[in-house]
Amino acid sequence: MIGIGMGDTYLLKSTTYIGMSRSYTIAYSYPIFTMFLANLFLGEPFHYRYLMGSILIFLGVANALTGGSSEAGSKRRVGFIYSLAASLSWASGTVLVTQGVKTVDIFLANTIRYPIVFLTLLPLMVFRGGEIDLNRRDLGLLVVSGILGMTLGGIIFLHSVRLIGASKAAPLSSSSPFWASILSSIFLKEKLTLRILASTVLVIAGIYFLF
């Protein structure tokens, strides 16, 4: 619920303020928070290379936030807070999942996870969501989004893990913000700046140090 329910909602909310490429890059700083939370609550060891990774991620996020952009200062601040909330939610979700799978059957947990998150979000959507003007195009996009991200993405990542192991597959899959920047410039007509690309590269490089 915290990871995919709250985290993804915050990310989408942030997108409405600062755009997908910037908010996705900032939200992808979540391995830093995961590392600190895992160290704090799960007692996982802290390595010096993590510090290097954290510095690179911090520089990437700071770079994404500064510089000339069309958004007003307050709008940018709100967008940053939402993307940071997404990052914290994903980190908390990852730590909770790590803890949860120790006592619960993985298959069972994974099968029931999404329907539970949906049923939890549904009343919130009905009572707080306001009016919904959902046309066929939007419905199609959401179907595509669900299938691509949650089903196909997961299965393909799974095959990758089987072939090269999680230690190699996870850092490679963290290139997602770079692709999000490219895709949002093509499909959402967001301006792809060198600054955003540089931030994305810094965040991805930082994540490599954290694995």
User: Residue 93 CB, nearest distance to other proteins (Å)?
Assistant: 6
For the chain, counts of helices (H) and of strands (E): 11, 0
Range 182-211, binding other proteins (CB under 8 A) = 182-184, 187-188
Nearer to other proteins, 67 or 140 (CB): 140
DSSP states along 11-38: HHHHHHHH-HHHHHHHHTTHHHHHHHHH
Among 135, 136, 167, 194, contact with other proteins (rule: CB under 8 A): 135
Pick one of 52, 59, 81, 121: the residue that binds other proteins (CB under 8 A): 121
Among 52, 78, 97, 192, indicate the residue that binds other proteins (CB under 8 A).
97
**Among residues 40 and 143, whose Cβ is nearest to other proteins?**
143
- Burial (CB < 10 A; 0-12, 13-18, 19+), residue 44, is middle
- From residue 96, alpha-carbon distances to 14, 83, 103, 109 in Å are 24, 20, 12, 12
State the nearest-atom distance from the C-beta of 180 to other proteins, in Å: 4
Instruction: List the x/- string, 2-41, binding to other proteins by CB under 8 A.
Output: -xxx--xxxxxx-xx---x---x-----------------
Torsion of CA 47, 52, 58, 60, to 10 degrees: -130
Residues that bind other proteins (rule: CB under 8 A) add up to a total of 84
Query: Quick one: which segment of 40-48, 52-60, 69-77, 115-123 binds other proteins (CB under 8 A)?
Result: 115-123
Distances (CA, A) of 14 to 51, 158, 196: 27, 29, 16
126 by Cβ neighbours in 10 Å (0-12 / 13-18 / 19+) ranks as exposed
**Torsion angle of C-alpha atoms 41, 46, 52, 58, degrees rounded to 10:** 10
Of residues 51-90, which lie at the interface with other proteins (CB under 8 A)? Answer: 90
Using CB under 8 A, pick the residue from 170, 192, 198, 205 that binds other proteins. Answer: 170
Binding other proteins (rule: CB under 8 A), the pick from 44, 55, 69, 157 is 157
Q: Does 118 bind other proteins (CB under 8 A)?
A: yes
Residue nearer to other proteins on the CB measure, 9 or 69 = 9
